[in-house]
Amino acid sequence: MAVTINGSTGIASVDGSAGSPGSRGTDANSGVFYSADAIKFSTGGTERAVIDNNGLSAAGHVIQYVQATTGNINGRISTNDSSSFVTTGYSVTITPTNASNLIIVGGYVTTYGSAINRGTYLQMHNGNTGSLDANQESGVYFKIEGPWLTLPFKYTCTAGTTSAITFTLYFKKYGGSSSSEYVYLGWSSSPGTTKNWNDMWAMEVAV
């Protein structure tokens, strides 16, 4: 392995790779290696962490956390539609640093049903794919009229882009076709500056 020592530019070596790092000890496949604008670390021949222009990235490491603004999640809304999901208007926007990273969207809403044996269904709309995901649905069922319940939700996906993605929560009523039966989200019709018993956030996690 060639090493160059220069009085002006310092010490330089080969970039190396995960299996043969440019800087290592007696273990030939564990150490530090390099690529454009990045310092990488490997053990056992496998890349474990990267420091690049976006900061530190290691598998399972949270790259960023975005809290939805209060005004995007605190409205009181209702629907009597049991056939189609409609937008809640509750949303959060995140700009991934790497298209391969995992995006996790989570939160909770407060919901109420105006009739017995009805429920609230939630699905997430992914602004990048332009679609809802029925495989990550959440819901609650009312055996009595009311009471107000807290309904959590979680949605995960591969980022697929480094452009901003807006995730929007959709909902519909479960059961019955009567137009006089509603499900509601958001405790108060006058929430002011509170979150109205709702919350929503997004995280980017390195893979």
Please give the tally of structural domains in the chain.
2
pTM of this structure: 0.81
Residue 190 three-state SS: coil
Residue numbers of the domain that contains 197: 63-205
In the chain, which residue ranges form alpha helices assigned H by DSSP?
none
The confidence band for 203, taking pLDDT boundaries of 50, 70 and 90, is very high
How confident is the model over 132-159, as pLDDT tens digits? Answer: 999 999 999 988 777 899 999 999 999 9
Please report, as a single letter, which amino acid is at residue 27. D
How confident is the model over 28-69, as pLDDT tens digits? Answer: 899 888 888 888 888 898 878 888 877 777 788 899 999 999
Please say whether the beta carbons of 171 and 86 come within 8 A.
yes
The span from the CA of 115 to the CA of 82, in Å, is 13
Residues 167 and 89 in one domain: yes
Residues 50 and 102 in one domain: no
For residue 95, give every residue at least 6 positions away whose Cβ sits within 8 Å of its Cβ, in sequence order, or none.
Answer: 162, 163, 164, 165
What is the CATH classification number for the domain harbouring 141? 2.60.120.1340
The span from the CA of 138 to the CA of 174, in Å, is 12
Please say whether the beta carbons of 66 and 74 come within 8 A.
no
Please say whether the beta carbons of 16 and 33 come within 8 A.
yes
Residues 115 and 156 in one domain: yes
Residues 42 and 71 in one domain: no
Residues 40 and 24 in one domain: yes
Q: Return the structure tokens found at 123.
A: 């699905």
When the pLDDT of each residue in the chain is averaged and rounded to a whole number, the result is: 91
The span from the CA of 197 to the CA of 189, in Å, is 12
The residue from 32, 57, 82 where one domain ends is 57
The confidence band for 202, taking pLDDT boundaries of 50, 70 and 90, is very high
